[in-house]
Structure 1
Amino acid sequence: MTLRYCLLMLLASAQVYAEDGPQTVVVNGQTDVEASRDFVAGKLIISRKTLEESGQQNVGDALRREPAITIGKDGRLGLLGLTGYTQILVDGRESLTDPYAMDLVQVEKIEIIKSATASTGPFGVAGTINIIRRKIDRKAMTLLRAGGSTSAGYGSANATLMSNQLPSSLPISYNFMLIANSRTTPNAEQYQQTQSLGTAAPTPQFHGESSGVSRVETVLASSEIAWAVNPEHKLSFKPAATYMGVHSHGVEQRLWGDGDTLSAERQHRDRTTIIELPLGWDWKISPDSSLSLQGRFSRMQPTTTIRRMDNWSVEGDHLRQQVRDLDVTNRFLDLTFKTAFTGGHDFSAGMKLAKIDNDADYTDLIDGLPDLSQAVLGTSTHARTERRQFFVQDDWRVNKSLSLSAGMSTEQRIHELDEGTVHNRPRFSIWSPSAHVAYKVGGDSKRQLRASVARTFQAPDTGQLFLHPTINPLAPCYDRSLCGANTLDTADSAGNPKLLPERSLGVNLSYAHGLGASSEAKIEFYTRDITHKTGTELALENVAWATVPRYVMRPANLGDATLRGVNLEGRLAARDVWKEAPNLDLQGSVGYAHSALRDLPGPDNRLEGQLPWRAKLGAGYALADLPLKLNLDANWLPGDWFRNNLTQRTYQSNRFTLNAGANWKVGATQRLIFNIDNLLARDSHSINEYYGANQTLRRYTNNDAYARFSVRLEMNL
């Protein structure tokens, strides 16, 4: 019997009890809104209880309901509409796995800041989302969660077991966590492409359709062992092992106007294992001072296998096989010192050192024989990255009304890249000052003016720096020699070792007006001035893997960009304004923004993902007579064009998504949760335009959408 059916049997066996309705969410006697008012830089806090009451399984699903979080048309989350510019940290550090996929049972709270501080580092142009992992509870307990979902007839399942133990005879506490997920997602699209020569009317080139199914499986086993050596010293060891597997398969059919056809069947497998061995030492030097030393060693080994069977009416049948074996070793060392000085100063300083080795081996076959075009830069690569980051920060509470924060963060990064006989050594050093001011109007923490200014950066990752190409499967090289020509819409992709980090100067101005313990209205103005803006460049190049010039898409620094925007955010607990009101919570946001890439022609030269406006609305209602809470949230995004580069622009249709959920406490230690995601399941549409010598190509695409229904049982044993 499969895991999915076992979980469904477990859900069906749950007994039903009655209990009081949900209570107000508090953190150490404060609501999330009240706790967020204490930070100079305008940090937002989402507590563990808020996350639990959301009825969601993972971090990403819970954050979708937060008014400060923006959702892109590709589903990615971020801040200020800049998904690619939002820094995501776990316990203040980079994560080896997708932080949004973290099970909420692992999370203590989430911190959100839409500017930058020295302690969060020089990266995060739009801001930082920091996920704080759950610590060992000072009580023995066991938690079990199990659930299942379905989308377009494809099932998914998940299970979580967490056990927390406190041996009474030893100064040691430990926990154990086991998480298993299997999620299946279908996809389907239909497309057609036209060609315009000069000023002539467009003529059809081809049409086609593709469909597929992707299954993601994850198993995580982790533990934390904490040893209180004495009241001043504490040691912790947090080993973890993760397996992630992705298996997707699909088919594609394409028909050209002259009668040529293509039928393709593809299979894609990713298998990744990760071992993490973090060791920590915390020293309570004095009541006002502490020192934390964290060392972390990890090894990640991903393997990607792609099998594509093409049947061309002209080229015949061909089998392409690609295997990518990676071996990534990470060594991190973090040191943080905190102290408090007289006069209201909270001072912190620290350093972060990292050394990363990345080895990759490539195997490319065509009809069982080596693909010579892919071997021109060798069949292996090696990258070593060294990073040194330092910061100092001072938070100063001048008086009851005024607070200041100032800091400096700096990082030096050196890459050593070897691809066959090609060696590149990109390096850069950056300095990131930041300053924040918070003023309580009349000394009232419910009414606060805030201002922030920060220099931030967006660094290129190692994958963007490698020259090794990915040859477009629709313009392949079947004769096992160097490639021939391709077209604008079948460009290859490759990296750029000369890519520079983006630099941004950001300003945030906000006013927050509290209406109660859980109610607040906020308006925020923000600007970003970006230099060395990174985008894509599509050009016809002489390349090592072809005998004639081919079109290649590379990351490139496109020039300068500007962003100006305003956000309105609000939260309202009905009982904050009327004690006899229903237990109803409302939250939402509306944002307007204007961005421009100065070195690209208008009028569609905006930052990718930065829409002219966006809106969100969420509601939660706890029934008076039943231990049941209902949740509803909606997200609106307009249709818009944006220019990718000088030779390409894209249109994406408007999006409206609606999600609903029910959180039912069926017993003192049991809870049953129902969710419907993408309730309306509206298809999306896009247009891609490519501009070449006296020609314009337009591709019209329709992507099918699906609703997802899920149910989950949670039990404290």
Structure 2
Amino acid sequence: MNITHRSIAIVLLASQPAAVWADDASGAAVPVVQVTGAQSDAEARRQFVAGKIIIGRKRIEESGVRKVEDMLRREPAVTVSSDGRIGLLNMPGYTQILLDGQAPVGRSPTELDLVSVEKIEIVKSSMAEYGPFGVAGTINIITRKTTRKTETEIAAGIETTGGEPKVTMDLSRNSSVQGSPLRYSFQLSAEAGSGLERSNISESIAVRGQSDQLRWHGQSDGKSRQEMLSGSMDVIWQRADDETLTLSPSIATMIDKNAARDIRLPASGVESADTAWDRIRLDMLRVPVRWESKLSSTSKADVSVMTAFIRSNSASSGIDAIAGARGSEWLSLDKRRGGSQALDMSYRTRLANGHNVKLGSTIRHMRQVIRHRYELDGARASAFDLLGARSAWRNRSFRVFVQDEWELSEKVDVNAGMSAQATDIQVSENRYQVRNESRILSPSLHLSRKIGKDDANHLRLSIARSFKEVEEDDLSAHPEIHPLAPCISAASCGPNSAATADKVGNAILRPERALGMTASYEHAIGAGSHVNVELYSRQIDDKMGKEIILLSVPWSADPRHVIRPANLGDARSLGLSVEMELALRDIAAEAPKLAIRGSAGIAESTVSNVPGPENKLDRQTPWNAKLGSSYSMEGFPITFDADASWAPSVWIRTSAVERIYVARVFTFEASAKWQMTPDRRLIVGMRSASPRTRHTIHQYITNDERVSRYDDSRRFSTIRVQFESSL
């Protein structure tokens, strides 16, 4: 489970599912709720001017993996950064991930169970209908919808990582009555499991003109516990094919608990220990209503209204001990309450001369109140009186877009669009008042030229202006005090170091602006195979990152080091990638039922206001590679999958003060799927990484010294067993 402040902030506001569309023979736009026919994902992607990659339901069911993230890790077009994040174009943090065409719901959509996913769309550029925030592209995860078919599906799984178990349960029910305009479905999901972390840690310091001297060494042991329970329902009223009304309430509870103990032995020989506990609980309720109407044989309107409520409580505490004696004890509490309202409207129509036009607008209002509490040895921290114990923010936004996909000729297609958004964020923290306004205009243009007798090969060119938005927590002045440099009052809160900097927001943070260009050639090899070569560039203005600086702060009489978001100047990124999916039966009908997939890419980047030569985009690797295969046995209902990925070691300079080293990593995973009966399947899988110990270094460099922190973390293999059945 990954519950972040941003996921809390967006409060499920974009809970409305985006319509899935196709065109009938008369040119009418009609909704599609179930994939039928023999068209492959490779054939479907060729219909889109911008080169949309489709991972359809058939492929999802055949994969045997459990989570969206696992499915995406197999996809050749998806890159994995040095810290494990998935994205596009080897640009970590720049991929927009949507759920049903809208902003994500609570936890990351990549953690969804694939049982509830209809298909996944991937576009490696910015498109007007997806909004202006896909600098490296967009991954849109579309959930399964209620169909006119009565069925029940269950899935149960268990996995273990380092001896720590995790269990999952999913139940879905789809029901309809022949001849009735009503149908409904519901889904229940539960998940509970534990994780384990073990590391050897150390810190050294080098004063100007001297070599590194060990400060301390020790070990860190951590254990986590995640629990999740969610339920949702769709109630649909449909009048023929002309009008549909959908009510989709949902509720979810997620709990994330962590405990860690660090033991340090300084060079002085006096042992110290730090024990910390974290607990986050997130409760969410959303009530979306959607109305769809077919206005004519060529046009359709869609209106959605959503109200959502959220509540979260997070608590962190810790105890320091020196030479076995109990030391200081600190406590940090955050209670968040909020809600959101959203109104989405869209209109789609087919015009003469091959024009398919989409228009849409979104009005959103989000609000949140946070109550803070910080104590040291039972005493409330008076250092925060200036900021108060209450924070409140409000985010209002309005977006409109227009997009025209035009068949210019039999060989040339054009997709042109414009997305405009106005955002107003207001933050109030006692005497601290901030207003951050932005006006964004995002044009996009995509060209596709069909090549070959059967028009299966495509030459594509895309250019788009896109953005990376400022988040509400990035503006907050309320600090997060580093546990190794605690504060209680301004008079007693002494200086800290760059390695123990307090976290704080930045009121003057500006959105990033990016100009992206992508050129690709896709060569088809049969219905399900292709090779794609892609060259891309991104020119970024006002690059957002982190800076560590020494500031006069209201919670300390002495200046303190703080780490805060900042605009680090301009950046550019260039890359080349080759992707391949090959089914041997596309070459020879008598070949084994074997499919091979893979990709390889190179990338380089620079950030202008960060010292070189390691001033790259955060966590971007100079190259990456993937190779995978799927094999179905002849005469036996068993399918095998194997996937491997490689990423090299890399030094990244994240700011003028900090640089990070991450060691190389090789990941291998495999699974076997046994189709016991047409309605029952058993899956066994495993994942492992090499090297077994991952080496990470954080260096903090100032005028007088260089502090290096080393972390050698243990990697554990995961073994999974899952049973699926339709009733």
TM-score (norm 2): 0.93
Counterpart residue type for residue 430 of structure 2: G
Q: Deviations over 1:448-493 (max 9, x none)?
A: 1000000000001111111110010011125785511111211111
1:546-695 counterparts in 2 under 5 A? 546-678=556-688, 680=690, 682-695=692-705
Which of these residues, 518, 537, 543, is aligned with residue 553 of structure 2?
543
Shift of 1:26: 8.1
Distance in 2 between the 1:92 and 1:479 partners?
47
Which of these residues, 230, 255, 272, is aligned with residue 220 of structure 1?
230
Shift of 1:445: 2.9
Question: Which deviates more, 686-695 or 603-612?
Answer: 686-695
- What secondary structure, in the 3-state scheme, does the structure 1 residue paired with 2:128 have? coil
| Structure 2 contact 382–488 (Cα < 8 Å) conserved | no
Match of 1:8 in 2: none
- What secondary structure, in the 3-state scheme, does the structure 2 residue paired with 1:664 have? strand
Q: Deviations over 1:144-168 (max 9, x none)?
A: 1001011111110000000000023
Shift of 1:573: 0.3
Distance in 1 between the 2:705 and 2:487 partners?
25
Match of 1:162 in 2: 172
Distance in 1 between the 2:533 and 2:481 partners?
47
Shift of 1:375: 4.1
Match of 2:120 in 1: 110
Match of 2:93 in 1: 84
Identify if the C-alpha distance between structure 1 residues 255 and 375 changes in structure 2 by more than 3 Å, giving closer, same or farther: farther
- What secondary structure, in the 3-state scheme, does the structure 2 residue paired with 1:678 have? strand
Counterpart residue type for residue 43 of structure 2: E
1:399-478 counterparts in 2 under 5 A? 399-442=409-452, 444-477=454-487
Structure 2 residue 193 is the aligned partner of structure 1 residue 183: yes
Q: Deviations over 1:516-568 (max 9, x none)?
A: 11110010000000000001111111111111111110100000001110110
Q: Deviations over 1:43-83 (max 9, x none)?
A: 00000111111111111111110001111122211101122
Question: Which deviates more, 689-698 or 324-333?
Answer: 689-698
1:123-138 counterparts in 2 under 5 A? 123-138=133-148
Distance in 2 between the 1:431 and 1:603 partners?
33
Counterpart residue type for residue 636 of structure 2: L
Match of 1:5 in 2: none
Distance in 1 between the 2:153 and 2:376 partners?
51
Distance in 2 between the 1:624 and 1:481 partners?
77
Question: Which deviates more, 437-446 or 240-249?
Answer: 437-446
Which of these residues, 257, 268, 276, is aligned with residue 266 of structure 1?
276
Match of 2:726 in 1: 716
Match of 1:10 in 2: none
Shift of 1:617: 0.8
Distance in 2 between the 1:478 and 1:315 partners?
21
Structure 2 residue 417 is the aligned partner of structure 1 residue 391: no
Distance in 1 between the 2:404 and 2:389 partners?
50
Aligned length: 693
| Structure 2 contact 186–234 (Cα < 8 Å) conserved | yes
Shift of 1:444: 3.3
Match of 1:53 in 2: 62
Task: Give the gaps of 5 or more residues in structure 2.
Answer: 1-33
1:48-447 counterparts in 2 under 5 A? 48-97=57-106, 98-168=108-178, 170-313=180-323, 316-442=326-452, 444-447=454-457
Which of these residues, 484, 499, 502, is aligned with residue 489 of structure 1?
499
Shift of 1:376: 3.6
- What secondary structure, in the 3-state scheme, does the structure 2 residue paired with 1:463 have? helix
Match of 1:13 in 2: none
- What secondary structure, in the 3-state scheme, does the structure 2 residue paired with 1:426 have? strand
Distance in 2 between the 1:344 and 1:162 partners?
40
| Structure 1 contact 373–482 (Cα < 8 Å) conserved | no
Distance in 2 between the 1:680 and 1:78 partners?
21
Which of these residues, 38, 42, 53, is aligned with residue 33 of structure 1?
42
Match of 1:12 in 2: none
Counterpart residue type for residue 654 of structure 2: N
Counterpart residue type for residue 713 of structure 2: N
| Structure 2 contact 80–86 (Cα < 8 Å) conserved | yes
- What secondary structure, in the 3-state scheme, does the structure 1 residue paired with 2:568 have? strand
Q: Aligned-residue CA RMSD in angstroms?
A: 1.5
| Structure 2 contact 665–690 (Cα < 8 Å) conserved | no
Shift of 1:316: 4.9
| Structure 2 contact 383–489 (Cα < 8 Å) conserved | no
| Structure 1 contact 405–435 (Cα < 8 Å) conserved | yes
Match of 2:11 in 1: none
Distance in 2 between the 1:52 and 1:647 partners?
48
TM-score (norm 1): 0.95
Shift of 1:328: 1.9
Identify if the C-alpha distance between structure 1 residues 479 and 207 changes in structure 2 by more than 3 Å, giving closer, same or farther: farther
Counterpart residue type for residue 209 of structure 2: T
Question: Which deviates more, 229-238 or 416-425?
Answer: 229-238
1:5-44 counterparts in 2 under 5 A? 28-44=37-53
Shift of 1:258: 1.7
| Structure 1 contact 482–545 (Cα < 8 Å) conserved | no
Question: Which deviates more, 259-268 or 63-72?
Answer: 259-268
- What secondary structure, in the 3-state scheme, does the structure 2 residue paired with 1:64 have? helix
Counterpart residue type for residue 355 of structure 1: H
Counterpart residue type for residue 75 of structure 2: E
Distance in 1 between the 2:80 and 2:292 partners?
37
Counterpart residue type for residue 68 of structure 1: A
Identify if the C-alpha distance between structure 1 residues 115 and 27 changes in structure 2 by more than 3 Å, giving closer, same or farther: farther
Identify if the C-alpha distance between structure 1 residues 96 and 374 changes in structure 2 by more than 3 Å, giving closer, same or farther: farther
Identify if the C-alpha distance between structure 1 residues 70 and 27 changes in structure 2 by more than 3 Å, giving closer, same or farther: farther
Shift of 1:249: 1.1
| Structure 1 contact 138–166 (Cα < 8 Å) conserved | yes
Counterpart residue type for residue 63 of structure 1: L
Which of these residues, 518, 521, 528, is aligned with residue 518 of structure 1?
528
Distance in 1 between the 2:271 and 2:430 partners?
37
Distance in 2 between the 1:345 and 1:452 partners?
19
Q: Deviations over 1:66-112 (max 9, x none)?
A: 00111112221110112211001111111222101111111110100
- What secondary structure, in the 3-state scheme, does the structure 2 residue paired with 1:49 have? helix
Identify if the C-alpha distance between structure 1 residues 664 and 646 changes in structure 2 by more than 3 Å, giving closer, same or farther: same
| Structure 1 contact 681–706 (Cα < 8 Å) conserved | no
| Structure 1 contact 79–86 (Cα < 8 Å) conserved | yes
Question: Which deviates more, 154-163 or 71-80?
Answer: 71-80
Shift of 1:502: 0.2
Counterpart residue type for residue 599 of structure 1: N
Distance in 1 between the 2:217 and 2:110 partners?
36
Distance in 2 between the 1:649 and 1:109 partners?
39
Shift of 1:213: 1.0
- What secondary structure, in the 3-state scheme, does the structure 2 residue paired with 1:318 have? strand
